[in-house]
Amino acid sequence: MLSISVKEFLFWKKKQLSKGGDQQSFALLLDCIAGLSNSDLNLLNINPYGRIYLKKSLKFLESVWEEHLLTSHPIQYLCGITFWRNLKLKVTNKVLIPRPETELVVDIVFKIYGNKTQKLFFAELGTGSGAISIALALAYPLWDGIATDIDQDVLEIANENYINSSKQSNLRFYCGNWWTPLERFKGKFDLAISNPPYIPKHTYENLPKEIKDFEPKIALLGGEDGLKHIREIIQKAPLFLKEKGWLILENHFDQGEKVKQLLLKNKFTSIEIVNDLSGIGRFTIGRYK
Ligand SMILES: C[S@@+](CC[C@H](N)C(=O)[O-])C[C@H]1O[C@@H](n2cnc3c(N)ncnc32)[C@H](O)[C@@H]1O
């Protein structure tokens, strides 16, 4: 631990932020690398003449911050950590950084099931860091879930995140293409969730550098029209869901209506396009018959 005066630290902090970047990213750097949480930071203003203890030197923190600013490397990857809902998750460049808007998927589940405690079986297809499944497994200890992904390395990170967040054993991780690893659970799921890759090819080619150069292409690109994976997931969902089972999908900002049509075509009912906090139809949900 390195000891430094609060005054010196606050001066240094102001200098770093004047170089660019946003407060939230800087706070993540301080929390994950220096060991200074947001509440520690708030206390500094009350005690400006005290001293603080840092896990790493200001020089090291500054080098990470400058790398972030100069190369657009996401701060979450540089720190190896992100915060999502109430979870602290490990992230590497193998996994998509879970987005704040995706947090609403969990709220949609809460809205459908409330605090029902009965047993229920869910699947998440394309779990990435494991964020959605871990949040559900923690919120509903009596539920059982299977989280899948096409990439075994991704599943290892998701599993590590689950072990670090929970002492439960109600979530399993299977590797394979969408529904394929779940063949033996046909007709068994009460609920399936997916935030699949849905960015259309042209949009993908023009994504900002901080996404396109650093986040996994396989987690983002949804084929020519962005709907390649959503189509496959919806078409096979009736084989795996119980009757009246729910399917919850995240989609691109303008895909809601098309996803709704795909659900209708595959005999889903109670279909609804759910807005995110910016009023964008980000999620499409439906029940199988
Ligand atoms: C948009 S990311 C979502 C990750 C995470 N669920 C979240 O919301 O942050 C899509 C995930 O689907 C996985 N994936 C891509 N193609 C897949 C496929 N054919 N079968 C299963 N998973 C796939 C990717 O590896 C990635 O982890």
What is the number of the ligand 1 atom nearest to the C-alpha of 126?
A: 12
Separation of CA 126 and ligand 1 centre (Å): 3
Q: Residue 46: pLDDT above 90?
A: no
Separation of CA 243 and ligand 1 centre (Å): 25
pLDDT at 10: 92
What is the number of the ligand 1 atom nearest to the C-alpha of 220?
A: 1
Q: What is the average per-residue pLDDT within 237-241?
A: 98
H runs (alpha helix) in the chain: 6-18, 23-29, 38-46, 58-71, 75-79, 103-113, 131-139, 152-165, 201-205, 209-212, 228-240, 256-265
Angstrom distance (rounded) from CA 221 to CA 206: 12
Q: What is the average per-residue pLDDT within 262-285?
A: 97
Decide whether any atom of ligand 1 lies within 6 Å of the 131 Cβ.
yes
Please name the helix (run of DSSP H) or strand (run of DSSP E) that holds residue 191, with its range, or none: strand 189-194
Angstrom distance (rounded) from CA 198 to CA 31: 32
Comparing C-alpha atoms, which of 72, 68, 61 is closest to residue 13? 61
Separation of CA 223 and ligand 1 centre (Å): 14
Name residue 64's amino acid: V
pTM for this one? 0.96
* Mutation choice for ligand 1 from 218, 230, 255, CB with most ligand atoms inside 8 A: 218
* Mutation choice for ligand 1 from 149, 221, 252, CB with most ligand atoms inside 8 A: 149
> Atom 14, ligand 1: which residue's CA is nearest?
126
3-state secondary structure 118-164: CCCEEEEECCCCCHHHHHHHHHCCCCEEEEEECCHHHHHHHHHHHHH
DSSP conformational letter for 30: I
> Atom 7, ligand 1: which residue's CA is nearest?
98
pLDDT tens column, 144-191: 999 999 999 999 999 999 999 998 899 999 999 999 999 999 999 999
State the DSSP string of 213-249: TTS-GGGTB--TTS-HHHHHHHHHHHHHEEEEEEEEE
CB 165 within 8 A of CB 171: no
> Atom 27, ligand 1: which residue's CA is nearest?
128
pLDDT at 107: 97
Burial 157-195 (b: 16+ CB within 10 A, else e): bbbebbeebeeeebbebbeeebbebbeeeeeebbbbbbb
The angle at the Cα of 287, spanning 286 to 289, to the nearest 5 degrees, equals 130
Q: What is the average per-residue pLDDT within 224-250?
A: 98
Decide whether any atom of ligand 1 lies within 6 Å of the 177 Cβ.
yes
